[in-house]
Structure 1
Amino acid sequence: MSTIIAGRFQLQEDVDRARRALADAGFDAGRISGFYLTQPGQHDQTPIGGDHLQSPGAKETPEGVVQGVATGGAVGAAIGAATAPVTGPLGPVVGGLVGGHVGSLFSFSKMKERGETEEGSTENRVPPREAGMLVAVAFDDGDGLADKAVDVLRQLGARHIERAEGNIVDGDWADFDPSSRPQLIS
């Protein structure tokens, strides 16, 4: 694996200019990559699309639904049974169904808010990568090449410059994970 320095640009012309500037600064043109990064959640990394099979905020939702249905169903059935002389034999059934439905809404209390970490999570607070044009350059660390790459990208107006490990071959960052959290330099 090589060290990779990447920065985000707004326009395709900026990407082309950055690729030329990095090559002029002595970096191997085959190890410079420029590509568009889509919005978080739209990276199509699962068979059904998106970045995750389950929404990170809904991790505890199935447990909440089961708890809510059980509790609401029991309470509704009890109320229905108590009103059976008035409602007849369907009272406990209808009460249980209505109670189960109302109780299932309890699951919303188990969902986390946007930006809130999961309980016990070691998730860092670095935000995900924003959409935009990325230029990345790979090199074998040494001789201050990381500082040189950062300086070139900064001079060209790159934002969200980050450091990563990976492989860029023939202009393609082959092992890039768009949903990973960046190690921001600036």
Structure 2
Amino acid sequence: MSMIIAGHFQLQEDVERARRALLDAGFAGERISGFYLSQPGQHDQTPIGGDHMESPGARETPEGVAKGAGAGAAVGMVAGAATSPITGPLGPVVGGLVGAHVGSLFSFSKMKEAGEREEGGGAPLENRHAGMLIAVAFDDPGLEAQAVDMLRRLGATQIERARGNIVDGDWADFDPGSAPDIIH
């Protein structure tokens, strides 16, 4: 595996300009990769599309809805039973159904907001921005500062460091869902 320095650009022309600059500086053309990066969640990495089989932060949703519906149903049945002299035998049933519905809706109010941490988890992952990405691989650690400086001067944002393989212009082991190691 080689050291890889990658930078984000908005325009394809900027990526081509960066490619020419890297070539002029002596970086090998087959070890430079330029490509479009889709928005987070749209990388089609699973059989159903998207990046994850389950939405991040939604792990506890079915359990929370079930708890809310159960508690609401119990309260509703008690309330319905108390009104059964007026509502008849359907009072507890209707009360239980209404209570379950209200309880399940209340459980949704307890869900996490976008970007909020998982309970007991670390800070939310910083995602890569959608747009054009150019990456250059090299084996000499002394070239890192040169690559970073060039991309920074050319206007790259979210310059990151990674380890991987760029073969024939293709970053073969690039994982769009991994957290980038942003260095500038």
TM class by shorter chain equals over 0.9
Cα shift at 1:126: 5.2
Match of 1:68 in 2: 68
Query: What CA distance in whole angstroms lies between the structure 2 residues aligned with 1:90 and 1:29?
Result: 77
Q: Is the 8 A contact 1:166 1:176 kept in 2?
A: yes
1:48-127 → structure 2 map (5 Å cutoff): 48-122=48-122, 124-125=123-124, 127=126
Cα shift at 1:3: 0.9
Deviations 1:139-172, CA, capped at 9 Å, x for gaps: 1143x11111111111211111000111111111
Indicate how the Cα distance of structure 1 residues 87 and 48 shifts in structure 2: closer, same or farther if over 3 A, else same.
Answer: same
Cα shift at 1:103: 0.5
Q: Is the 8 A contact 2:158 2:182 kept in 1?
A: yes
RMSD over aligned CA atoms reads: 1.4
Match of 2:35 in 1: 35
Query: What CA distance in whole angstroms lies between the structure 2 residues aligned with 1:110 and 1:62?
Result: 12
Indicate how the Cα distance of structure 1 residues 81 and 126 shifts in structure 2: closer, same or farther if over 3 A, else same.
Answer: closer
Query: What CA distance in whole angstroms lies between the structure 1 residues aligned with 2:140 and 2:76?
Result: 66
Q: Secondary structure at the match of 1:112?
A: coil
Match of 1:176 in 2: 174
Match of 1:160 in 2: 158
Query: What CA distance in whole angstroms lies between the structure 2 residues aligned with 1:63 and 1:97?
Result: 18
Aligned partner letter, 2:28:
D
Cα shift at 1:125: 4.8
Query: What CA distance in whole angstroms lies between the structure 2 residues aligned with 1:160 and 1:88?
Result: 67
Query: What CA distance in whole angstroms lies between the structure 1 residues aligned with 2:145 and 2:139?
Result: 13
Q: Following superposition, which runs of at least 4 residues in structure 1 exceed 4 angstroms of deviation?
A: none
Unmatched 5+ stretches in structure 1: none
Unmatched 5+ stretches in structure 2: none
Q: Secondary structure at the match of 1:4?
A: strand
Match of 2:129 in 1: 130
Query: What CA distance in whole angstroms lies between the structure 1 residues aligned with 2:10 and 2:74?
Result: 57
Cα shift at 1:101: 0.8
Q: Is the 8 A contact 2:116 2:124 kept in 1?
A: no
TM-score when normalising by structure 1: 0.93
Q: Secondary structure at the match of 1:5?
A: strand
TM-score when normalising by structure 2: 0.94
Cα shift at 1:110: 3.2
Indicate how the Cα distance of structure 1 residues 103 and 152 shifts in structure 2: closer, same or farther if over 3 A, else same.
Answer: same
Q: Is the 8 A contact 1:61 1:110 kept in 2?
A: no
Query: What CA distance in whole angstroms lies between the structure 1 residues aligned with 2:65 and 2:39?
Result: 30
Query: What CA distance in whole angstroms lies between the structure 1 residues aligned with 2:173 and 2:110?
Result: 35
Of 88-97 and 47-56, more deviation after overlay is shown by: 47-56
Deviations 1:24-83, CA, capped at 9 Å, x for gaps: 211111110000111111111222211222221322211210110110010111111111
Query: What CA distance in whole angstroms lies between the structure 2 residues aligned with 1:148 and 1:9?
Result: 18
